[in-house]
Amino acid sequence: MSNALAIATVTTALAQIVRTAVQSILPGADVLTERPDSTLLAQPRVRLFLYQVSPSGALRNNDLPTRTADGHLMKRPVAALDLYYLLAFYGSESNLEPQRMLGATVRDIHAKPVLMRQMIEDAIASEPFLTASNLADAVEQIKFTPLSLSLEELAKLWSVFFQAPYALSVAYQGTVILIDSEESPLTPMPVLRRGADDRGVRILLGPFPAIDAIHVGAPEEVAQRPRAASYPSARLGAVLIITGRNLAGESVQVRFNHTRLPVTRTMTIPPGDRSGSELTVTLADDAPAQTDWAAGLYSVVVIVQNGTAEHTSNQFPLSFAPKINGITPPNPVARDGGGNVALTIACGPEVRPAQRVALLIADREVPAQNHPVDTNTLQFIVETAPVVADALVRLRIDGVDSLPFVRQAVPPPPRLVFDDNQRVTIL
């Protein structure tokens, strides 16, 4: 921002640039900040004339609104202007002095198109009437750009100079000059307290929290960078990293709703496990978790509370896999006289009677035997069982398959390998 002397300061600084340029070619040349007229100049001279001032198309409304509805000043108005300069070159045509000065001017302005702070300070020091100028302190820098004027536009421009003969000339645009108003708004009183109990402003209409993604991993992988690929499903003992927007608040909860069962889990996230863009949720793998959770598909929402205002995020899907804890009888398993095999699968969390359960083995999908109560032990009869060696089995509950792998830390580096305890050999 600058005061009313900004335009005159820009003109003076541009004149200094042009003067340095033409004197490098013709030591006796000079720059006159005046309009072209009928006076013929025998000595090499450049007439620098500000012929037009217009509002900046980019910043002309940048300061709005400046006043309230009742007319009180909200902030200091700022005029954004573009300046248009004509540079006319005079001298001996036989020695091509105008052309030589034009070439030097174009060269130097192209090399230094921006008015730097030192250049502005030199211009202010060169003229006593610019002493009060503060253009050197302005944040917005001023840049000069050559204008491409057609022959018709150039003829119209020179026609405004009454009886002035045409001289070799070039036009430049200087942008952008910001001029402050001298009127200042009233200084508001200092803020002593921000809301009740100095807790700040509560926004009742958003921004609302939003979940963008949920990463599933093992507890040992939380600090790993770069983060390992997400598991396809969550399970007991896993760590969920919920990423999104506007997740911070005085109280943050994550709610899991099973899509087929009346199973709902709400977990409060401690301050150390949350930020505005990320929440860390650890799923316990203890005795209560075996009955609190159920495998299947969940919808996840984040609930952010600030005072009495409560905002809920979008629903995000999360598949929750069962976990195979053991298979009996141990390997190898022999078929009975009818070629059938009976397998008992110990799993977690407990399976509800209404859930759809199947065992995937080789090319078979074997339904579980009926169980009238919640159980962590499932019975399967594989009829005409195939002969397989170390075949991986998976437990599918409500469309979500168990994860047939474990994380192996030794030997390093840690990696995922298929779980030998989830293999079956049938003879």
User: pTM of this prediction?
Assistant: 0.54
> Beta partners for 382?
341
Q: How far is CA 168 from the centre of its chain?
A: 51
Q: Rounded to whole angstroms, how far apart are CA atoms 315 and 306?
A: 20
Residue 144 pLDDT: 97
Taking only the tens place, the pLDDT of each residue in 95-104 is: 999 999 999 9
Q: Rounded to whole angstroms, how far apart are CA atoms 38 and 31?
A: 17
Query: For the domain bounded by 210-320, which CATH number is listed?
Result: 2.60.40.10
- Decide if 210-320 and 323-426 have a common fold: yes
Question: How many Cα neighbours within 13 Å face the side chain of 414?
Answer: 13
User: Architecture of domain 323-426 in CATH?
Assistant: Sandwich (2.60)
Neighbours of 421 (CB within 10 A): 12
Taking only the tens place, the pLDDT of each residue in 208-251 is: 899 999 999 998 888 888 888 899 999 999 999 999 999 998 99
Does 317 sit behind a cis peptide bond, omega within 30 degrees of 0 on the bond before it?
Answer: no
Mean pLDDT by 10 residues, the chain (427 residues): 92 96 95 88 91 92 81 84 96 94 97 94 95 91 95 92 91 94 76 75 71 93 84 94 93 96 95 93 94 96 90 95 94 91 94 95 92 94 92 94 87 85 91
CB 179 within 8 A of CB 3: yes
Using DSSP, state whether 267 is helix, strand or coil. Answer: strand
For the chain, the domains span 6-180, 210-320, 323-426
Amino acid found at 121:
E
